[in-house]
Chains A and B, each alone.
Chain A
Amino acid sequence: MYRYDSYDQAMVDARVAEFRDQARRRLEGKLTEDQFKPLRLMNGLYLQLHAYMLRVAIPYGTLDARQMEMLADIADKYDRGYGHFTTRQNIQYNWIKLEDCADALADLATVEMHAIQTSGNCIRNISSDHFAGAAADEVVDPRPYAELMRQWSSFHPEFTYLPRKFKIAVIASEKDRAAMRLHDIGVRIVKNDAGEVGAQFYAGGGMGRTPMIAPLIRDFVPIDQFITYAEACLRVYNRYGRRDNKYKARIKILVHELGAGEYIRQVEEEFAHLLSVGVEPPTAELERIKAHFELPEPLRLPGQGAGTPLPSGGAAESGAPGQARGGAFDQWVKRNTHPHRHPEYVSAVISLKPAGGIPGDATSDQMRVVARLAREYSFDELRVMHTQNLLLPHVAITDLPAVYAALDEAGLGAANMDTIEDIIACPGLDYCSLANARSIPLAQRISERFAQTGRTSQVGELKLKISGCINACGHHHAGHIGILGVDKKGVENYQLSLGGSEAEDVALAKITGPGFDEDGVIAAVEKVTDVYLASRTAGERFLDTYRRIGMEPFKEALYG
């Protein structure tokens, strides 16, 4: 994975010093809160309901054991012993003090981490496929391109006061595991017929109060013009994105109001101009970055059978004799492993969704267990998934029993990836100052209910996503089932929607009808799964059945 050189380190150190100085000026009264707010936000520091919250960047979701251990140390030293992993592959701490923040950032800098641009109206942390580099279906590892963008977008002098926040995702396969088309810019790294690597650009996607799926704006940008094209996209947005209304300021509104064709025309014009100016980093830089992402020696050759899913019970022969295995282990292997490009390895999902638990939360002790497992079993590499889970990307199939045993002991062994227990939920009104309703208690009750009745495995793949307000941090628009919390005259109320997807079959969910109270929406989720179980044909996921039979039968069951 990527390692800082002295330049990268100096940039992060300079940022820590700058923030320390900004915090000092705020505490001395030289900066008002209005002036300080965008500065602290650009260092990931929010003021939430109970305290300041610090969001730390995990670029494209990749980190090593030493970094995870530092995240655990930060949780213990400056917070309350836990952290929350987010849908954009970052981590949030809920109880950071302003007066401690620069010290926490300085500690992070010692392990090549930071909170740069994790909030604010600037280019945010770049996200990617959580299986990047390990999945068999990729054209290339997308992370070097994401890293090139990370450097370009860090402290970009022209794009620090954009109309609104700007999120970019970079993937390199037909499968979309990063909600790419629901980003301000989505990039898919592709190869053309001549075998040359280039970038496909989508622009103007997003969730929030006006969800939109990004249209394709360029099929192939030669890779030696990658940054120049991105710069053109951003310049057109910075100049013409709306600034009169915060809720219409995202690029999706610009692209929608101009029409994709006109936005493309303006970008192409700016692109041609910028090519003449020359803003592209030297091509040798991409090669330098790529070298950092070379797979560890044993994984380099995919070999025959790359990407073959483990057959059910396929890990039964793995591990040392006498190691505990059987039902729970088999279930976990079946549910939580993903095919690897090397046939003797898998990627293993560490669920942060124990039934009844808080989605995405991990204690400092759990983080240390995960770090140790990464060191021992995954070539010192970890990922944060956009589903608020963690991942050991490269685990030998023979090591799975040992990995599972350790995870299970740490309360991290839930076998529920992509099931109805694997709920994405924003922090909601329990933590967030923007929220209208709580999200976490719903997630807890639903996962507990389905786990208890044993219905989880019966229902199979079903992505349930919960947001506590219209800003949609819980991706409810993209849920097979989505729940949106609203404030109905001071009382929490929940709207149900069906049929969304963040994947390559991207779609926006549709609202079923009138909202429900907390008990009501939980009952409604059960009813919806009843309809699915009664209507599905062989091999159909919930989403497939919904697409085939439409909204009516579900409405009938809910309101009929």
Chain B
Amino acid sequence: MKILTGNDLRTGAVTWWDGSSWSLHVNDAVDVGEDAEEILAREVAARRVNVPYAIAATRTIDGVRPAHIKDRIRALGPTVRPDLTLKPQDPQAIDWVI
């Protein structure tokens, strides 16, 4: 699947396109198919996201998994600071990244 990600303009937080707005959680990401360019142009113009881009991902039983390690680190947080990730209580979360 093809999903969209970027950072929030005001806060810098990593966000994912969920079909109607930008979510903090990668599992909310939706397949945008052929619409990527159009959505990106519109959302950038409206300043609802900063420097967004389209990436490849797969949907598994655990949720949405970006194809590249860089975007999986973005989805979770720094692997060396589990306390600052989106899943501070989950020691296995880092395994998902690698």
Contact = CB atoms under 8 A, between A and B. Distances in A.
Contacts of A522: none
Nearest to A28: B47
B78 A490 contact: no
A358 interface: yes
A95 B67 CA distance: 25
B65 interface: no
Contacts of A52: 7, 12
**Which bucket holds chain A's interface residue count?**
20 to 34
B41 interface: no
Nearest to B11: A97
Contacts of A29: 47
A490 B9 contact: no
A490 B14 CA distance: 21
Interface string B2-23: 0000010111111000000000
A80 B12 CA distance: 14
A433 B15 CA distance: 15
Contacts of A97: 10-12
Contact of A50 (B10, B14, B67, B69): B14
Given A50-B77, A51-B12, A98-B9, A27 B47 contact: yes
B69 A492 contact: yes
A95 B78 CA distance: 12
Contacts of B47: 27, 29
Contacts of B10: 27, 97-99
Contacts of A431: 78
A49 B73 contact: yes
Interface in A64-95: 80, 94-95
Contacts of A47: 7, 12, 50-51
Contacts of A95: 12, 84
Contact of A440 (B44, B67, B80): B80
Interface in A326-358: 358
A47 to B, nearest CB: 6
Contacts of B12: 47-48, 50-52, 95-98
A223 B78 CA distance: 47
Nearest to B94: A441
A268 interface: no
A419 interface: no
Contacts of A490: 67-69
A377 B32 CA distance: 61
Nearest to B83: A80
A96 B69 CA distance: 23
A480 interface: no
A174 interface: no
Q: Is the interface of A mostly helix, strand, loop or mixed?
A: mixed
Contact of A430 (B11, B13, B73): B73
Q: Is the interface of B mostly helix, strand, loop or mixed?
A: loop
A99 B84 contact: no
A441 B7 contact: no
A490 B73 CA distance: 13
B80 A358 contact: yes
Contacts of A430: 73, 78-81
A431 B79 CA distance: 9
**Which bucket holds chain B's interface residue count?**
20 to 34
A491 B47 CA distance: 34
A33 interface: yes
Contacts of A96: 12
Interface string B75-92: 001111100100000000
Nearest to B44: A33
A150 B80 CA distance: 35
B77 to A, nearest CB: 6
A99 B50 CA distance: 14
Given A49-B73, A49-B74, A430-B73, A438 B51 contact: no
A382 to B, nearest CB: 25
B70 A429 contact: yes
A127 interface: no
Interface string A21-49: 00000110100010000000000000111
Contacts of B78: 50, 94, 430-431
Contact of B50 (A33, A435, A441, A492): A33
Contacts of A119: none
Interface string B56-78: 00000000000111100110011
Contacts of B68: 490
A429 B69 CA distance: 9
A62 B82 CA distance: 32
Interface in A415-459: 429-431, 433, 435, 438, 440-441, 444
B80 A99 contact: no
B51 A33 contact: yes
Nearest to B46: A29
A49 B69 CA distance: 12
A521 to B, nearest CB: 15
A51 B80 contact: no
Nearest to B50: A33
List 4 A-B pairs, minimum CB-CB distance, nearest first.
Answer: A51-B12, A52-B12, A430-B78, A97-B11
28 contacts: A26-B9, A27-B10, A27-B47, A29-B47, A33-B51, A47-B7, A49-B70, A50-B14, A50-B74, A51-B12, A80-B84, A95-B12, A95-B84, A97-B12, A429-B69, A429-B70, A429-B73, A430-B79, A430-B80, A430-B81, A435-B70, A438-B79, A438-B80, A440-B80, A441-B79, A444-B80, A490-B67, A490-B69
